[in-house]
Amino acid sequence: MITIRAEVGRTLKTALEMKGLDDLIRHLAEEIRSRMVQSTPIDTKRARQSWGEVRREGGLSHSGGTDAGPVARQSIGFSFGNTAPYSHILDKGSTPGKKPWPSVGPKTTMKDGRIFSSQAPAGIYRTAEIEKFVKAALPGLFAKYLGK
């Protein structure tokens, strides 16, 4: 399950226009999901088709605080995941000597002591280059959704 969430102190709520922040996080979640889907290996197509839709989560939560009371935070987030029972193997790889890929075969490759699908030789997340994408996309998304 991938969750993308922002927590904003109550006093910042109006200053940041929660609607803009909500749109920014939704856009980011949808782009990340799209990259993950495209990086998912295709054999039977089951894993690629098992990515769920981006779902909204969030609401008012409480964290921290002082003797005067808890600090209220508005939590905005979106999540999605893959329901294929072997999706974690496609992302994290297989341990040599264990199922599903005990050894490297015609559709697999070895990297960092683990066996991965040749179509996602570093796992789904790393093959999709999510961290690189987020670092590149955030400035434009901030300007688009939270700019003045």
Higher-confidence residue of 77 and 87: namely: 87
Mean pLDDT confidence for 22-35 = 91
In angstroms, the CA 60 to CA 62 distance is: 7
pLDDT above 70 (res 123): yes
Question: Taking the domains of the chain in order of start, what are their residue ranges?
Answer: 2-83+125-146
Question: pLDDT of 4-20, one tens digit each?
Answer: 776 665 555 554 456 67
Q: Which amino acid is at 15?
A: A
Instruction: Read off the pLDDT of residues 66-86 as tens digits, 9 standing for 90 and up.
Output: 555 555 556 678 899 999 999
* Dihedral angle computed from the Cα positions of residues 61, 66, 67 and 70, in that order, rounded to the nearest 10 degrees: -10
- Rounded to whole angstroms, the Cα distance separating 107 from 120 reads 10
- What pLDDT shows up at residue 73? 58
The pLDDT assigned to 15 comes to: 44
Q: Provide the whole-model pTM.
A: 0.79
